A and B are shown apart, each in its own frame.
Chain A
């Protein structure tokens, strides 16, 4: 599959590397050239530098022929918007947006896309470990 990853932070770099290792054709987009330092030296995919909402950047990432896109920048609204555009404007079949701030989740879901984010789940789990006796014991080494 041809997969576009928007945002090359920790999440993006990791996801891009995993997918490339599985043999997918991966294209990573980020505004900052320095962001690509997060990719491993032996990363097999392509990188595209640019503002993802600027007219030609998604085109340079070959979105017209992409099978999937994940928007995993630090901005929840940008992630939702990019995933939405990929699906509606370019007909990308599988799209997902990362959620950072759980309060922005509802807003993202309005765009009718898959939203993935661990912050709410992590918070709940940590709360369980801190307050629940049984879970606390289980978490000990």
Chain B
């Protein structure tokens, strides 16, 4: 894919490095000289375009007309909104991603201003932290749907309410499915009649309220 990243802060630089490692074509636009000095230590020179992204001539020169994704990742929410809007209305970029620096601006990052995906860093981080605090023995392996759902791994301790009961008899939360059970190193495909044993590692896909209910079933 051909990806244009506006902004060269830590998040943008990390993203560019990851995308390059996966052999995508990346152009990163940044104009602050102090930030550029750091960027040149991390990224190949040909990836970095030194100028202000909120300038139509600059956008044209970075090849915005040919990119598949525009990532508006500057530290200024106004610029990120303007960039997503321009990318779609002027240059017909198929996918736009906007970074939200200040959560109070989140209400604007939507389809009306042509932001396809809004990334609210403060929100994502706050969610991760509160999950880490509340759900002790549950490990989040993967975030799905922008963090709405998670793939969670839990080890069932002796004495947990789920021990000795079949899946079909457990009051499982609605937005939750048991995806697999690892017992003594073997993967069991869960069926309704599968009975939990202490020491089972249970893989579950669930939303956040579901995770809390699961925690009650799978803790000692």
Q: Is the CB of B90 within 8 A of A81?
A: no
Binary contact track B63-94/A, C-beta < 8 Å → 1, others 0: 00000000000000111011001100110000
Interface of A is mostly: helix
Q: Is the CB of A88 within 8 A of B86?
A: no
Which residues of the partner chain A approach B108 to less than 8 Å between Cβ atoms? Answer: 53, 85
Which residues of the partner chain A approach B78 to less than 8 Å between Cβ atoms? Answer: 53, 75, 77-78, 81
Instruction: Identify which of B54, B102, B105 contacts A77 (C-beta below 8 A).
Output: B54
Most buried by B among A75, A77, A78, A110: A77
Q: Is B61 on the interface with A (CB-CB < 8 A)?
A: no
Which residues of the partner chain A approach B105 to less than 8 Å between Cβ atoms? Answer: 53-54
Instruction: Identify which of A51, A55, A107 contacts B56 (C-beta below 8 A).
Output: A107
**Closest CB in chain A relative to B86 CB, distance in Å:** 6
Binary contact track B84-123/A, C-beta < 8 Å → 1, others 0: 0110011000000000001011011000110000000000
Q: Is the CB of A80 within 8 A of B107?
A: no
**Closest CB in chain B relative to A116 CB, distance in Å:** 18
Most buried by A among B81, B90, B105, B112: B81
With A110-B90, A111-B85 known to touch, is A51 a contact of B54 (CB < 8 Å)? no
**In chain A between 60 and 75, which residues have their CB closer than 8 angstroms to a CB of chain B?**
75
Instruction: Identify which of A54, A55, A77 contacts B79 (C-beta below 8 A).
Output: A77
Binary contact track A63-105/B, C-beta < 8 Å → 1, others 0: 0000000000001011011001100110000000000000110
- In the complex, which residue of chain A has the Cβ closest to the Cβ of B55? A103
With A54-B105, A55-B107, A89-B112 known to touch, is A77 a contact of B77 (CB < 8 Å)? no
Interface residue tally on B, bucketed by range: 10 to 19
A sample of 20 more A-B contacts (CB under 8 A), given A85-B113, A107-B86, is A51-B104, A53-B78, A53-B108, A54-B105, A55-B104, A77-B79, A77-B82, A78-B78, A80-B82, A81-B81, A85-B108, A88-B112, A89-B112, A106-B56, A107-B54, A107-B55, A107-B56, A107-B82, A110-B86, A110-B89
Q: B-contacting residues of A (Cβ < 8 Å)?
A: 51, 53-55, 75, 77-78, 80-81, 84-85, 88-89, 103-104, 106-107, 110-111
Please name 14 pairs of A and B residues whose Cβ atoms are closer than 8 Å in the assembled complex, sorted by A: A51-B102, A51-B104, A53-B104, A53-B108, A54-B105, A55-B104, A81-B78, A81-B81, A81-B82, A85-B113, A104-B54, A104-B55, A106-B56, A107-B82
